[in-house]
Amino acid sequence: MGLATIPALVIAQIKNSKTETVKIEGASTACKNLIEKAANKNKESNLEWNATTKEAALTYNTEKTSKDEVLKRIALAGFDNESYIAPVDVYQRLNPECQYKGKIEIQTDQSDTNSGTDHSKMDHSSMNSNKGMDHSSSSKVSSSSKLEPLYHKYFAIKDALVASDSKTVVTQATALKSAIAAVKMGELEAKEHDVWMAVMKDLDKQVASLLSTKKIEGQRLAFSSLSESIYKLIKATDPSYPVYYSHCPMYNEGKGANWLSKDKAIQNPYYGSQMLTCGSTKEIIK
């Protein structure tokens, strides 16, 4: 597997090119077209996959993309590789001849908080839509913390990102800015007060960053920083309802990002419907 496996004409069309050998799982040559279709972009990246060795020669324009981005697209198409694991629900939609791991039974046991949940199998009849979701009726809400309104706005932003609804993100971020301004430090519990003093300036910057763009990807990047400040606050609050602190390993070129949710099921705010169940719960705060 080397430079010779990719046509010279294709390489010539890709400027600032770099060629690497990468490992990609697949069952047979039936997977070849799917893998290569996910990887290849005109004048940006080209990949040739070998079904026998499970290796591929990848050539890409280093100024327009990266090996990481190409492998991420391949994972989103249903194929595990050296950097990323394919979402289970996407893998399950592959034709049987391409299911290189055999048939996988999707975890539906609600007691397992460490694995992604197949949201497509959930009963949504009793749930509100992502827009304007009212979390106050879904679980026991803390009545003691003066930071509760702030947390509700954060969860609403998370829901809007899951729905890839950038307009609602702006609306809820504006409400969060008001909730932050309304906090009276003298009314906070001792632990909350100490953490609030440590994160309040960061919160202002993070919300300002969230409001500075109307593009969903910029909002998601700002949300990743905001989540860390909210995590510190909620830990100090000791909420009377469970809060799930979850991690997406694929976001931001594999650097990963965390988020908080009152919902047990994994609903990834960094990819939305593109990869809804990617991630796992790291901690339950309660």
Confidence check: pLDDT of 123 > 60: no
Of 104-113, 124-133, 189-198, 240-249, the one with minimum mean pLDDT is 124-133
Q: Does the pLDDT value for residue 124 go beyond 60?
A: no
Percent of residues, the chain, with pLDDT higher than 90: 58
In which residue ranges of the chain is CATH 3.30.70.100 found? 16-98
pLDDT in tens, 20-52: 999 999 988 889 999 999 999 988 999 999 999
Segment among 16-20, 31-35, 75-79, 83-87 with least mean pLDDT: 83-87
Q: What would you report as the CA-atom Rg of the chain, rounded to the nearest whole angstrom?
A: 22
Q: Which residues contact 130 (CB under 8 A, 6 or more apart)?
A: 159, 160, 162, 163, 165
Q: Inter-axis angle of helices 148-162 and 166-182, to 10 degrees?
A: 170
Q: Which residue has the higher pLDDT, 157 or 141?
A: 157
pLDDT for residue 10: 59
Residue 109 has pLDDT above 70, yes or no: no
Quickly state the pLDDT bin for 253 (edges 50, 70, 90). confident
Helices 67-76, 32-39: axis angle to 10 degrees equals 130
CATH architecture of 16-98: 2-Layer Sandwich (3.30)
